[in-house]
Copies of this chain bind each other. A is one copy, B any other.
């Protein structure tokens, strides 16, 4: 039995930030960087940066820090962003279309090979270069293409149903943009990316800021 403990979510959320910064630094010709510099740039604690980097199993050198090239590779590897992870997307509305059009996902290892919708006007077209199929074909196509990632950009009332179709097709990781609570077996990974949650944080922080300034 593996006793390796899971990575803390806060750490996972910081890794892409390190990655973006490291890519910028590499662009600028740097080859080494210390936790001190990374921390200052991202307004974090240097110790935290070191602890985070520990998870990638990269070790630094006193006085100089970390090798940027190696660190970039290690983070990508750690997140499996160096692989071509095939994905399906269901719900070709505004958000779904935007997602398909965001070409950079390939940089993050995510490759949309098929999209699905129930709207007959959309079926059999291509959106942003990705073919749109009728929803009922999802399990079949997902199975044949061995797709493990599914992106849910459907209205909340269909989210559960579509998620189950994805699972039927062998999908193991679901990126859920619908404000719905999915009930799925626990060998399926779900990440809820709901904008309303993020907006709640922003809204309340703003309210609290105003209350503080009103004093």
Chain A residues with CB under 8 Å of chain B are: 1-2, 4, 6-7, 9, 12-13, 15-17, 20-21, 41-43, 78-81, 85, 94-95, 97-98, 101-102, 105, 108-110, 148-149, 156, 172-173, 175, 179-181, 187, 189, 191, 193-213, 215
Contact = CB atoms under 8 A, between A and B. Distances in A.
Interface of A is mostly: helix
Given A17-B197, A80-B207, A172-B209, 9 more contacts: A4-B211, A15-B200, A16-B196, A20-B180, A79-B200, A79-B203, A94-B98, A189-B206, A189-B209
Contacts of A78: 204, 207
| Identical subunits present | 2
B193 A108 contact: no
Contacts of A173: 202-203, 205-206, 209
B193 A198 contact: yes
